[in-house]
């Protein structure tokens, strides 16, 4: 279920915790009693198919390093963590699978240490437990003292709903192996974007003229289709060449689109044309593009990437955007495990710029509200 057991990582975590708390297996309760600080680590319980919030209130006796090791159990990459508790055995993996950006974790009463928010008080009556345990019920009250940081790259930035004023300027890109590989991909993407604009324009014109020549319905017959190619002002031979290539007659083009051979073209058949031509109306504007699956590794990585991207999209929205430090790693992805020193320096600088931009934005906003 995973490649790496993570033993060295687990040991290293223990050493770091021991330096601060005197015990490699210090618990969430130990941290709270010693420092008064509350730590929350989100993990995914694969057995129950739910996210769990490890915290002094919910898991006081769990070693902190165990929770962190759970939260780093990226599917396929690391082995899941087994935990035996109250006579049952559960498997835990990366919390990001279900909750990649838990900026809400200190909202509401679920992790509140106030006496009036004790679990015994809040979980009454038990017959309403299903309602009481919903995310909206547990984390519904917005905490304006919380802010979070989210890391993203150019490979997934287009699915994040962000505030441009919170996006920091990019630091100079170093000359490293990862950066050079990204530059090649970036150049290819720019060419693809240029081609995409041409195809989109041609497809837009094609659909517009089709609509003008359709007779009160969503189905297009061969006669209406031929009229499109007679309207040279709106849909020119150059546009037709971009969409359909060379040396095809109008009848041949119609037959290639009429997938079910019923003598008419419907909306789904037109969308199939858009996808094949490279417009990708649904994947470009709703999804994240296409991933070529060539082997088992691509398949498994694709599943995890799909979950991660859509969880990011789900959690970073609404008022959460205003309390989020955006850290753009540009070319460094979450699965890049061999960065060079220059790559790490770049990431630190991007983090600094992200925090600086965030603070400047809120300082400006506070002054505007006060004036």
Residue 110: which of 146, 83, 134 has the closest Cα? 134
Query: What pLDDT score was predicted for residue 44?
Result: 92
| 294, HSE (Cβ side, Cα atoms, 13 Å) | 1
Whether residue 9 is contained in a domain is answered as: no
Separation CA 119–CA 109 (nearest Å) = 9
Distance of CA 149 to the CA centre of its chain: 14
Whether residue 209 is contained in a domain is answered as: yes
Whether residue 94 is contained in a domain is answered as: no
Dihedral through CA 264, CA 270, CA 275, CA 279, nearest 10?
A: 150
Strand partners, 83: 90
- Whether pLDDT at 282 is above 80: no
Distance of CA 147 to the CA centre of its chain: 18
**pLDDT band at residue 203, thresholds of 50, 70 and 90?**
confident
Of 91-100, 150-159, 206-215, 271-280, the range with the lowest mean pLDDT is: 271-280
Which CATH number covers residue 193? 1.10.238
Whether residue 248 is contained in a domain is answered as: yes
What is the token pair recorded at 335?
């699965």
What is the token pair recorded at 245?
């290539």
Strand partners, 45: 50, 92
Query: What pLDDT score was predicted for residue 144?
Result: 87
Note the pTM of the prediction, 2 decimals.
Answer: 0.67
Whether residue 235 is contained in a domain is answered as: yes
Query: What pLDDT score was predicted for residue 285?
Result: 38
Query: What pLDDT score was predicted for residue 64?
Result: 98
314 vs 166: which has the higher pLDDT: 166
Whether residue 193 is contained in a domain is answered as: yes
What is the token pair recorded at 338?
């061999």
- Whether pLDDT at 340 is above 90: yes
Strand partners, 92: 45, 81
Q: How far is CA 87 from CA 65, 84, 190, 223, 293, in A?
A: 22, 7, 56, 73, 41
**pLDDT band at residue 308, thresholds of 50, 70 and 90?**
low
Q: Measured between alpha carbons, how far apart are the two ends of the chain, in Å?
A: 57
Query: What pLDDT score was predicted for residue 293?
Result: 64
221 vs 56: which has the higher pLDDT: 56
What is the number of domains present in the chain? 1
Percent of the chain with pLDDT over 70: 82
Separation CA 277–CA 199 (nearest Å) = 7
**pLDDT band at residue 247, thresholds of 50, 70 and 90?**
confident
Q: Is the peptide bond before 125 cis (omega within 30 degrees of 0)?
A: yes
Query: What pLDDT score was predicted for residue 283?
Result: 44
Separation CA 32–CA 27 (nearest Å) = 9
Q: How far is CA 151 from CA 96, 115, 148, 307, 333, in A?
A: 12, 35, 10, 16, 9
Query: What pLDDT score was predicted for residue 173?
Result: 96
Whether residue 241 is contained in a domain is answered as: yes
Write out the residue range of the structural domain in which residue 266 sits.
180-285
**Is residue 28 a contact partner of residue 55, using CB atoms and an 8 Å limit?**
yes
Whether residue 337 is contained in a domain is answered as: no
Query: What pLDDT score was predicted for residue 17?
Result: 98
Nearby residues of 168 by Cβ (< 8 Å), 6 or more positions away: 326, 328, 350, 353, 354, 356, 357
Q: Exposed/middle/buried for 86, CB within 10 Å: 0-12, 13-18, 19+?
A: exposed
- Whether pLDDT at 284 is above 50: no
């Amino acid at each position: 279920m995973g490649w790496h057991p993570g033993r060295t990582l687990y040991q290293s975590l223990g050493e770091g915790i021991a330096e601060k708390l005197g015990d490699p297996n210090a618990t969430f309760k130990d941290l709270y009693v010693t420092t008064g600080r509350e730590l929350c680590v989100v993990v995914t319980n694969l057995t129950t198919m739910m996210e769990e919030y490890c915290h002094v209130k919910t898991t006081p006796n769990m070693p902190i390093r165990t929770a962190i090791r759970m939260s780093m159990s990226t599917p396929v990459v690391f082995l899941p963590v087994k935990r035996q508790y109250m006579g049952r055995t559960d498997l835990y993996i990366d919390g990001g699978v279900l909750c990649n950006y838990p900026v809400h974790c200190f909202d509401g009463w679920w992790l509140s240490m106030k006496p009036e928010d004790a679990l015994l008080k809040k979980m009454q009556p038990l017959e309403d437990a299903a309602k009481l345990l919903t995310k909206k019920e547990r984390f519904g009250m917005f905490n304006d003292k919380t802010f979070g940081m989210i890391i993203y790259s150019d490979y997934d930035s287009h699915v994040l709903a962000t505030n441009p004023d919170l996006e920091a300027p990019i630091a100079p890109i170093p000359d490293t192996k990862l950066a050079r590989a990204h530059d090649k991909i970036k150049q290819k993407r720019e060419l693809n974007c240029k081609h995409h604009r041409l195809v989109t324009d041609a497809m837009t014109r094609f659909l517009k003229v089709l609509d003008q020549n359709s007779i009160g319905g969503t189905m297009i017959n061969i006669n209406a289709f031929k009229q499109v190619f007679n309207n040279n002002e709106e849909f020119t031979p150059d546009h037709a060449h971009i969409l359909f290539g060379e040396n095809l007659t109008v009848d041949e083009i119609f037959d290639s689109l009429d997938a079910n051979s019923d003598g008419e073209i419907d909306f789904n058949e037109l969308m199939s044309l858009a996808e094949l031509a490279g417009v990708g109306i649904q994947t470009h504007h709703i999804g994240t593009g296409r991933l070529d699956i060539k082997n088992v590794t691509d398949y498994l990585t694709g599943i995890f990437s799909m979950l991660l991207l859509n969880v990011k999209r789900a959690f970073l929205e609404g008022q959460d955007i205003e309390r989020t430090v955006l850290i753009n790693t540009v070319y460094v992805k979450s699965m890049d495990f061999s960065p060079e020193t220059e790559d790490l320096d770049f990431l630190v600088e991007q983090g600094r710029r992200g925090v600086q931009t965030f603070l400047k934005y809120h300082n400006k906003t506070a002054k505007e509200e006060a004036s």
